Structure 1
Amino acid sequence: MKNLLSQVKQCRLCEKILPLEPNPILQISTQSKILIVGQAPGIKAHQKSMPFDDKSGDRLRAWLGVNKSQFYNEQLFAILPMGFCYPGRGKSGDLPPIPQCATTWRKALLEKLTEIELTIILGKYAVEWHLHSKAPITKLAKQWQTLLPLNKIVLPHPSPRNNLWLKKNLWFEKEVIPLLQKKVTALMPD
């Protein structure tokens, strides 16, 4: 794993198409119990070299019922976005993850994660890879009762940009979050 991570951290495959210097951001350990798969780091993650150290991360940690020290413990949480570097800004938010990341590194990294007991899937690119589905996030999030027993769950992105979605889908925080927190708590060390 150390050799593979070293290669990922030194990756420059997309250097010519990225808006900023490559800065691969991920968190992973062969002992990780919970896998968070998302899109790509945002600009704040790029600047801090730390995934989800922003308002999205605050909301995600609240949904999971964990604090920062638990969240950034790689033996508990692996954070493996579809793209490891900030892809740049588009008209309505960040650009999609650069696909070379997933095709080059994802399979080898996932093979090292043999202790994963829960996979949390954020966003359409992660859904397409991990569930082989192009169904809307809302439809897949509503399937939590089917997916959670399979140790998978689809969540909307925790970004403040999704406040409207959360207001329209009150069932999510009432029904899904308490069960998600229970599942996460059960995977925490005593």
Structure 2
Amino acid sequence: MSRPRSALEQLLGEIRACRLCEASLPLGPRPVLRASETATLLVVGQAPGTLVHGSGIPWDDASGVRLRGWLGMDKSDFYDETKVAIVPMGFCYPGRGASGDLPPRPECRATWHPRLLPLLGQVELVLAIGQYAQAHFLGETRRKTLTETVQHWRDYAPRVFPLPHPSPRNTGWFKHNPWFDAEVVPALRARVSSVMGP
């Protein structure tokens, strides 16, 4: 006899079947997220890109390679749902804009996040990646720009680490802000290691 599904498992099933934005999604709906009741690390980015939409695996692209490098994690740990929840601000690929992907669809945050995030009760560390995640998790405490917010990461740690998006498009940002690799990444790795445990 199979065990009954938990509230989180039931909700994830609802989310993966979601068609709220279907008419607005150029590649159609394919919600991409991972979560479990035992996860201690929550990774919150923007929305899947085309590669992730195709594979259904979050951060399955060059951005994910850089992100895992920052965290000092290999794929097996990063994709261990019992330890890492991956819940973007938008669950489906939103389409292309003039200078990159469009913003995450707001329906995910409004419809699903209020029900989903309270079920992740073991989370000790939230990675708020990019301006949309930072607006949601930091609210009025975030600074005027993403750069300023990331520079003041100590104001939000140890619970939240605001991060720039690890996209190859941001190479110029990393060159102009060497303090990020020198100061933030080592602190981030140490915090991730303490949260993830052995």
Q: Do both share a fold (TM > 0.5)?
A: yes
User: Is 1:178 matched up with 2:186?
Assistant: yes
Aligned residue-pair number: 189
Q: Deviations over 1:32-69 (max 9, x none)?
A: 10111111001000000011011000000000000001
Residue of structure 1 equivalent to 2:62 = 55
What is the SS of the residue equivalent to 1:167?
Answer: helix
User: Is 1:29 matched up with 2:36?
Assistant: yes
* CA positional deviation for 1:2: 0.9
What is the SS of the residue equivalent to 2:194?
Answer: helix
In 2, Cα distance between the equivalents of 1:95 and 1:75?
A: 31
* One-letter code aligned to 1:35: L
In 2, Cα distance between the equivalents of 1:117 and 1:166?
A: 27
In 2, Cα distance between the equivalents of 1:187 and 1:75?
A: 13
Q: Give me the TM-score of the superposition, normalised by structure 1.
A: 0.97
* CA positional deviation for 1:164: 0.5
Q: Which of 129, 132, 146 is the equivalent residue of 1:137?
A: 146
Kindly indicate whether the alpha-carbon contact (under 8 Å) linking 2:34 and 2:86 is maintained by their aligned counterparts in 1. Answer: yes
> 1:50-129 residue pairs with structure 2 within 5 A?
50-129=57-136
User: Is 1:42 matched up with 2:49?
Assistant: yes
Q: Sequence identity, in percent?
A: 48
* One-letter code aligned to 1:140: T
Structure 2 alignment gaps of length 5 or more? 1-7
Q: Deviations over 1:139-185 (max 9, x none)?
A: 11011122113x11110000011110001000000001011101111
Provide the alpha-carbon RMSD of the alignment: 1.0
Deviates more, 1:133-142 or 1:31-40: 133-142
In 2, Cα distance between the equivalents of 1:144 and 1:130?
A: 13
Q: Which of 136, 155, 160 is the equivalent residue of 1:152?
A: 160
In 2, Cα distance between the equivalents of 1:119 and 1:132?
A: 14
* One-letter code aligned to 1:26: L
Q: Which of 172, 175, 182 is the equivalent residue of 1:167?
A: 175
Structure 1 alignment gaps of length 5 or more? none
In 2, Cα distance between the equivalents of 1:129 and 1:186?
A: 25
In 2, Cα distance between the equivalents of 1:85 and 1:122?
A: 16
Q: Deviations over 1:97-155 (max 9, x none)?
A: 11111100001100101001100001111111111146311011011122113x11110
Residue of structure 2 equivalent to 1:17 = 24
What is the SS of the residue equivalent to 1:132?
Answer: helix
Residue of structure 1 equivalent to 2:11 = 4
In 2, Cα distance between the equivalents of 1:112 and 1:188?
A: 19
* CA positional deviation for 1:75: 1.4
What is the SS of the residue equivalent to 2:42?
Answer: strand
